[in-house]
Amino acid sequence: MRRPASLLLPFLLASCSVLQPAPPTEETPVEATQRRAAAPRPAYNLTGYPPAVRDGYIDGCETARKSDYGRKDEKRFAADPRYKMGWNDGFSICSRK
């Protein structure tokens, strides 16, 4: 009885190990442009909103949907309050769907 338990112990311990996710890589503006050129721009009716809010909304919504197009522009998010507002709105609305 002791032998089977000692053989199972390494497998039980290995199954409890936790893999750490890869840290997010910061995207350069050139990489962002290339990624967006490869993916079609999503269509949203955001007529009347400033360009920064539109860009933020699209990025936030596509991030929530986990599409190839969506990714938060960290530098712009920190520096531009309109982009930040649009990103937060887009992410919260599209993550509910």
* 19 occurs within a structural domain: no
* 20 occurs within a structural domain: no
What domain range is 85 assigned to? 49-97
Domain count, the chain: 1
* 89 occurs within a structural domain: yes
* 37 occurs within a structural domain: no
**Distance between CA atoms of residues 91 and 97, nearest Å:** 10
**Distance between CA atoms of residues 1 and 91, nearest Å:** 55
**Distance between CA atoms of residues 87 and 14, nearest Å:** 40
48-96 pLDDT, tens digit each? 999 999 999 999 999 999 887 778 888 899 999 999 999 999 999 998 8
Report how many helices (DSSP H) and strands (DSSP E) the chain contains, helices first.
Answer: 5, 0
In the chain, % helix, strand, coil (3-state, to 5) comes to 60, 0, 40
28-55 pLDDT, tens digit each? 778 777 776 776 777 888 899 999 999 9
* 69 occurs within a structural domain: yes
**Distance between CA atoms of residues 93 and 97, nearest Å:** 7
